[in-house]
């Protein structure tokens, strides 16, 4: 199986793409969909897999420079990377590449070079078409669709995997229908959530004929450097006064701020984390009862909750459950943070579960927030619950 290198997408696909299969990133205009193909290429090069990149919208040098914006140096993989230059001849530039499409507006010339490369490179290589849309604009929709069928057939013959980046500009309905429903084994849609402007981006599997997948989609961010990260816009951290919520947020976050008065959080903590392919914004609440209306307000649109409790203060557990109710946490994935485990007299996880009367399927994680012990394990568990473990 060839991995895409996109967090969660490989699991959606049943651990990746089988040899001989084709896949298209179906990108809506205005989103950074081309990064998906780039990340897939870099991921496989870094796993010592032979790859081919067909560049048709920029010369190979600029293409390589674009990769470096995301922290990906593909120049160090020159022994594993074959480039088909389908751009330089179009603008009258010379090219240093071994494989050059002399007439990028001639689909037969394109076919000849691509098929030759498929024969020359090792079996089970990853073939990446950098911009199928550009080829279609140069060679025409119908001719390009017929060429895709040929490339996919040759991919199957030589046990390669072929992946296309495609931007869905206003092509004919028949072309869009063919791309979404007919000629690819898998279609990954990459779109934006928008009204007048795009304020969120998502991807999802429309089709994968080798995998049993349920309709799922994920928000994502594009980081420079870093590439595609699954984006969780709001995780709430709540719990009684002095349970250690602010310390937990700061221990977990790459950057965090608190609004304090006399050493106590009076408004909220705000942190951000980038961890193992996930990007999340974290909001911590104050614990005093007079702030309950604020807690209820800021808990809106949260996707998951950390409930922080002081393991040495069982008297506060009633308040902790009350705060979970205020945030409507029983309807959201949540993880209980058993903080201050380093203090003498701290209750064990089993004792907290028993006294708290918490169901067995709710994780309780022993944590020492002042030392960052257990905080990332808790984050990974909550992310699994939020994303359905997909």
Residues 6+ apart with CB under 8 A from 384: none
Please check the confidence at residue 130 and state whether its pLDDT lies above 60. yes
What is the pLDDT confidence band of residue 68, given thresholds at 50, 70 and 90?
very high
Question: Is the pLDDT reported for residue 185 higher than 70?
Answer: yes
- Measure CA 15 to chain center: 15
Domains 9-225 and 231-386 share a fold: yes
pLDDT of residue 27: 96
Topology, domain 9-225: Rossmann fold (3.40.50)
Domain ranges of the chain: 9-225, 231-386
Region 99-112 average pLDDT: 97
Query: Which letter does DSSP use for residue 125 in this model?
Result: P
For residues 283-303, average pLDDT: 75
Reported as a single tens digit per residue, the pLDDT across 242-274 is 999 989 999 998 765 555 443 444 456 889 999
The Cα-based distances of 187 to 133, 206, 348 in angstroms read 15, 5, 48
State the pLDDT at residue 264.
47
Alpha-carbon distance 381 to 120, whole Å?
Answer: 45
Going by their DSSP bridges, the two strands 334-339 and 364-366 should be labelled as parallel
Is the CB of residue 336 less than 8 Å from the CB of residue 217? no
Tens digit of each residue's pLDDT (9 = 90 or more) over 187-232: 999 998 754 444 578 999 999 999 876 667 889 989 999 999 999 9
pLDDT the model gives residue 200: 76
Closest C-alpha among 139, 146, 141, 147 to residue 171: 141
Fold of 231-386: Rossmann fold (3.40.50)
Q: Where are the alpha helices (DSSP H) in the chain?
A: 9-12, 34-46, 60-68, 88-91, 107-120, 132-139, 141-157, 173-177, 245-252, 292-298, 317-326, 349-356, 375-386
- Strands 99-100 and 227-238 turn out to be unpaired
CB-CB neighbours of 182 under 10 Å:
11
| SS3 label, residue 294 | helix
Q: At what angle do helices 107-120 and 132-139 cross, to 10 degrees?
A: 140
Beta strand pairing call for 161-167 and 22-27: parallel
């Amino acid at each position: 199986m060839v991995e895409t290198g996109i967090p969660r997408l490989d699991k959606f696909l049943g651990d990746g793409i089988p040899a001989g299969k084709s896949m298209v990133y179906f990108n809506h205009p205005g989103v950074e969909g081309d990064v998906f193909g780039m990340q897939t290429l870099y991921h496989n090069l870094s796993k010592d897999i032979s790859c081919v990149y067909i560049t048709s919208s920029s010369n190979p040098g600029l293409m390589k420079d674009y990769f470096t914006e995301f922290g990906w140096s593909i120049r160090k993989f020159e022994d594993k990377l074959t480039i088909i230059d389908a751009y330089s001849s179009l603008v009258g530039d010379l090219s240093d590449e071994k494989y050059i499409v002399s007439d990028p507006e001639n689909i037969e010339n394109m076919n000849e070079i691509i098929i030759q490369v498929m024969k020359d490179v090792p079996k089970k290589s990853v073939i990446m078409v950098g911009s199928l849309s550009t080829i279609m604009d140069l060679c025409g929709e119908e001719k390009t669709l017929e060429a895709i069928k040929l490339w996919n057939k040759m991919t199957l013959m030589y046990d390669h995997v072929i992946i296309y980046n495609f931007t869905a500009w206003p092509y004919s309905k028949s072309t869009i229908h063919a791309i979404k429903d007919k000629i690819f084994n898998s279609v990954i849609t990459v779109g934006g959530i928008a009204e007048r402007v795009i304020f969120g981006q998502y991807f999802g599997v429309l089709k994968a004929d080798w995998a049993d997948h349920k309709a799922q989609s994920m928000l994502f961010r594009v980081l420079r450097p870093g590439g595609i990260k699954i984006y969780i816009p709001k995780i709430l951290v709540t719990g009684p006064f002095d349970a250690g919520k602010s310390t937990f947020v700061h221990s977990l976050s790459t950057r965090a701020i608190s609004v304090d008065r006399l050493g106590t959080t009076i408004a909220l903590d705000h942190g951000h984390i980038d961890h193992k392919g996930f990007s999340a914004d974290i909001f911590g609440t104050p614990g005093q009862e007079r702030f309950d209306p604020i807690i209820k307000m800021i808990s809106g649109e949260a996707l998951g909750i950390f409930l922080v409790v002081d393991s040495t203060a069982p008297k506060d557990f009633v308040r902790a459950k009350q705060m979970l109710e205020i945030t409507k946490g029983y309807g959201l994935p949540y993880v209980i943070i058993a903080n201050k485990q380093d203090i003498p007299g701290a209750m064990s996880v089993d004792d907290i579960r028993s006294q708290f009367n918490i169901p067995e399927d709710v994780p309780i994680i022993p944590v020492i927030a002042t030392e960052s012990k257990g905080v990332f394990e808790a984050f990974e568990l909550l992310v699994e619950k939020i994303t359905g473990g997909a």
